[in-house]
């Protein structure tokens, strides 16, 4: 199902129902920039959720409804996603809180948008198909490559726009308009970002780190002193810059070498940003961002990467089993960070050695011994903590190639621990 065919069908449905429907926001911006776009945002002057249900029934799409914001998200069988919302106005009872929404006209809907380049709509009904609504000069700012807010209180109302401004600035290679930059700095200095909930701040940070080239955006966060909202001790130091810049190479190598490993790239950047501060600082940052347990485990591992790298490069861990024991608690994201840090030090030979050790470790972590705890019990050893120690030594011997068969494992246990069976 092509997007154009789908939109034509939706337009016919809207005309039959007497509803005005518009393409809005980022998709219009990207079309004007001649950039590829996959997800679609539509607004309806009328009941957007009811219309979304009609579309879902017509095309067999999945539907998620967000009543508070008069919005529904459709997922079509081909994977295409579409948001359909009621045109609305927003009011903020307090800065940084989620807004209260009320149905309104398309003109009022555009006035609530974050930036002029996202406040453009295109009519889709037959009577106004292709009509462009651009009340705030979004096309002008696209040509001038400018990020501009619609009103002076924009960042005060919604401080997440601070991070969104940087994301769009760096994605498109635009610049923040002078007054907008001043308003951003003013909002940042008032610490309104601290009022944002953890999930909202997390969402903006991870979206920013998911960009094609997050290094520029992270540098901009450092330049504007915005990293302090993650933690006051976070700084964009030269060594952090080198590591962040090296992450794409490390991610690309990992993807080629281990195609089945799903690396959480935004988390790698968050680890790179926080790998030079203390464990306590990282723990505080994790709580501030309300990271999930899995995310928290990955980010926490970042503080141990420098220590592991030192042992690996100083030849403190040379045997395969030593490398295995050093890395076996590391998530894959920490392995990527490990390589990024080595690449950032510009040690060509060293990074090649490290790649070999990481590759060997990934292969070895699927290795198992032929003998198990049941076999130890059959040999007359009472169950207890020693099982773990003995089986770990046996696995090390397997990894190092000292034993390769069950018979050799039994001989190893007899010689090392006096176990016969």
pLDDT at 134: 97
| Mean pLDDT, rounded, for 81-97 | 87
State the Cα–Cα distance between residues 195 and 174, nearest whole angstrom: 28
- Pairing assessment for the beta strands 81-86 and 40-45 based on DSSP bridges: parallel
CATH number of the structural domain 230-364: 1.10.3090.10
pLDDT at 350: 55
Average pLDDT value for the chain: 93
pLDDT at 249: 93
Would you call 83 helix, strand, or coil by DSSP? strand
Percent of the chain at pLDDT exceeding 70: 98
Given a contact cutoff of 8 angstroms between Cβ atoms, the answer to whether 129 and 123 are in contact is yes
**Residue 78, class by beta-carbon neighbours within 10 Å (0-12 exposed, 13-18 middle, 19+ buried)?**
exposed
pLDDT at 347: 56
Q: How confident is the model at residue 70 (pLDDT cuts 50, 70, 90)?
A: very high
State the Cα–Cα distance between residues 418 and 404, nearest whole angstrom: 19
pLDDT at residue 51 greater than cutoff 90 = yes
Higher-pLDDT residue of 392, 353: 392
> Where do the CATH 1.10.3090.10 domains begin and end in the chain?
230-364
pLDDT at 349: 44
User: From the DSSP assignment, how many helices (H) and strands (E) are in the chain?
Assistant: 21, 11
Q: How confident is the model at residue 109 (pLDDT cuts 50, 70, 90)?
A: very high
| Mean pLDDT, rounded, for 297-315 | 91
Nearest CA among 418, 417, 377, 412 for reference residue 398: 412
pLDDT at residue 18 greater than cutoff 80 = yes
Residue 42: count of CB within 10 angstroms of its CB: 26
**Averaging pLDDT over each range in 27-41, 92-106, 291-305, 377-391, which range is the top one?**
291-305
Instruction: Look up residue 102 and give its DSSP letter.
Output: E
pLDDT at residue 96 greater than cutoff 80 = no
Nearest CA among 141, 123, 142, 124 for reference residue 133: 123
pLDDT at 150: 97
Instruction: Look up residue 93 and give its DSSP letter.
Output: S
> Where do the CATH 1.10.110.30 domains begin and end in the chain?
145-225
Torsion, Cα of 73, 76, 77, 79 (10° steps)? -80
Q: How confident is the model at residue 345 (pLDDT cuts 50, 70, 90)?
A: confident
> Where do the CATH 3.30.460.10 domains begin and end in the chain?
3-141
State the Cα–Cα distance between residues 322 and 396, nearest whole angstrom: 8
- Whole-prediction pTM: 0.90
pLDDT at 346: 67
| Mean pLDDT, rounded, for 272-301 | 97
Given a contact cutoff of 8 angstroms between Cβ atoms, the answer to whether 51 and 62 are in contact is no
Domain 3-141 has CATH 3.40.47.10: no
Least confident of 10-19, 92-101, 358-367: 92-101
Residues 132-173 have pLDDT tens digits of 999 999 999 999 999 999 999 999 999 999 999 999 999 999
Would you call 86 helix, strand, or coil by DSSP? strand
State the Cα–Cα distance between residues 37 and 82, nearest whole angstrom: 12
Given a contact cutoff of 8 angstroms between Cβ atoms, the answer to whether 48 and 14 are in contact is no
- Please report which residue ranges of 102-158 form alpha helices under DSSP H: 106-111, 138-144, 154-157
State the Cα–Cα distance between residues 5 and 14, nearest whole angstrom: 14
Domain 145-225 has CATH 3.40.1710.10: no
State the Cα–Cα distance between residues 89 and 320, nearest whole angstrom: 62
State the Cα–Cα distance between residues 388 and 371, nearest whole angstrom: 12
**Three-state SS sequence of 262-299:** CCCHHHHHHHHHHCCCCHHHHHHHHHHHCCCHHHHHHH
Given a contact cutoff of 8 angstroms between Cβ atoms, the answer to whether 146 and 58 are in contact is no
| Mean pLDDT, rounded, for 258-274 | 94
Residues 210-253 have pLDDT tens digits of 999 899 999 999 999 999 999 999 999 999 999 999 999 999 99
Q: How confident is the model at residue 409 (pLDDT cuts 50, 70, 90)?
A: very high
């Amino acid at each position: 199902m092509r997007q154009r065919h789908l939109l034509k069908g939706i337009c016919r449905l809207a005309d039959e129902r007497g509803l005005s429907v518009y393409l809005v926001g980022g998709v219009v911006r990207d079309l004007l920039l001649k950039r590829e776009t996959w997800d679609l945002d539509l607004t309806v002057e009328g009941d957007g959720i009811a219309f979304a249900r009609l579309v879902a029934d017509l095309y067999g799409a999945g539907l998620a409804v967000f009543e508070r914001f008069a919005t529904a998200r459709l997922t079509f069988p081909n994977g295409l996603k579409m948001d359909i919302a009621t045109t609305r106005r927003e009011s903020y009872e307090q800065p940084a809180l989620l807004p209260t929404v009320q149905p309104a006209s398309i003109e009022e809907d555009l006035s609530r948008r974050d930036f002029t380049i996202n406040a453009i709509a295109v009519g889709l009904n037959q009577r106004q198909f292709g009509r462009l609504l651009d009340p705030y000069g979004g096309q002008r700012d696209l040509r001038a490559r400018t990020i501009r807010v619609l009103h002076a209180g924009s960042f005060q109302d919604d401080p997440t726009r601070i991070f969104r401004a940087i994301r769009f600035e760096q994605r498109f290679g635009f610049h923040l308009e002078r007054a907008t930059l001043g308003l951003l700095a003013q909002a940042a200095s008032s610490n309104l970002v601290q009022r944002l909930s953890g999930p909202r701040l997390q969402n903006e940070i991870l979206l920013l780190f998911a960009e094609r080239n997050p290094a520029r955006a992270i540098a901009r966060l450092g330049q504007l002193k915005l990293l302090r909202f993650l933690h006051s001790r976070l700084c964009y130091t030269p060594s952090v810059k080198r590591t962040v810049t090296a992450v794409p190479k490390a991610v690309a190598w990992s993807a080629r070498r281990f195609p089945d490993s799903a690396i959480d790239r935004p988390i790698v950047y968050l680890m790179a940003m926080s790998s030079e501060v203390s464990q306590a600082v990282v723990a505080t940052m994790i709580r501030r961002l309300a990271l999930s347990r899995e995310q928290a485990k990955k980010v926490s591992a970042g503080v141990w990467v420098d220590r592991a790298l030192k042992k690996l490069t100083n030849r403190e861990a040379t045997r395969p089993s030593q490398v295995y024991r050093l890395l076996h608690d590391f998530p894959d994201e920490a392995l990527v960070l490990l390589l990024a840090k080595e690449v950032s030090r510009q040690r060509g030979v060293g990074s090649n050695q490290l790649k070999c050790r990481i590759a060997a470790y990934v292969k070895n972590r699927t290795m198992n011994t032929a003998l198990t705890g049941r076999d130890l019990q059959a040999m007359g050893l009472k169950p207890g903590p020693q099982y773990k120690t003995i089986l770990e030594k046996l696995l090390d011997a397997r990894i190092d190639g000292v034993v390769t068969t069950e018979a050799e494992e039994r001989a190893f246990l007899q010689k090392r621990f006096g176990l016969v069976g």
